[in-house]
Structure 1
Amino acid sequence: MTSAGVFGGLALALALTGLFAWLWPGGIAAHGKYQFVMWLLAPLWLAAMNAAFLFRNGRRAWLALGGASLAAFAGLSACRHFLA
């Protein structure tokens, strides 16, 4: 479960911060957003690492965090494609 939280949680946090950067008002080029997005990564990663321990076993944690990461990266890819 720990490895799912560390690696799956990092992937999920990276994708969610990317989505935040693209979807927040002002778009990707808004002034001053880079610093906030950088500091947003750590709390999201910690939340995902803690959420990994809510599952019964490591396999379920990997499936949930991996699936959420894939969905978030698909959304990020769609944002980059349609909003660029």
Structure 2
Amino acid sequence: MNERSKIQPDWFGKTVCGLFLGFALALALVGCFAWFGPGGIDAQDKYQFNMWLLAPIWLSVLSFVYLFHSTRQALLWLGGANLLAWGLLLLLR
């Protein structure tokens, strides 16, 4: 195994990416579900479900961010996912 394919133990950088970009991604995904999920935005009690859906998505992203090989890779992938999710939400809404 060469040095390039090894996962770098940069805990601080990956944690910061997971906290901020993971939260933004979770917000965008929950927003997409709120607008385009069953019943649309006006479904009864959907706001409560959306509120509880945010935490598991955010914590999942935060957990998996440590599998990226570097902080740079985590930043690029999560940044791209954020651009895609927020673009989709704003474009289709």
Q: What TM-score does the superposition give when structure 2 sets the normalisation length? A: 0.83
Alpha-carbon shift at residue 79 of structure 1 (Å): 2.2
Larger proportion of helix = 1
Q: Distance in 1 between matches of 2:76 and 2:63?
A: 15
The answer to whether 1:67 aligns with 2:80 is yes
Structure 2 distance, partners of 1:23, 1:51, is 26
The question of 1:17 aligning with 2:30 is answered: yes
Query: Structure 1 runs of 4+ off > 3 angstroms?
Result: none
The 2-side partners of 1:28 and 1:62 are apart by: 31
Paired residue type of 1:57: S
CA contact (8 A) 1:21 1:33 kept: yes
- Name which one, 1 or 2, has greater alpha-carbon Rg: 2
| RMSD after superposition | 0.7
In the alignment, the residues of structure 1 paired with residue 38 and residue 91 of structure 2 have an alpha-carbon distance, to the nearest angstrom, of 17
Aligned counterparts of 1:79 and 1:34: Cα–Cα separation in 2:
19
Work out whether 1:40 is the aligned partner of 2:53.
yes
Distance, in Å, in 2 between the alignment partners of 1:72 and 1:49 is 17
Partner SS, residue 56 of structure 1: coil
Q: What is the percentage of aligned positions where both structures have the same residue?
A: 55
TM-aligned CA deviation for residue 44 of structure 1: 0.3
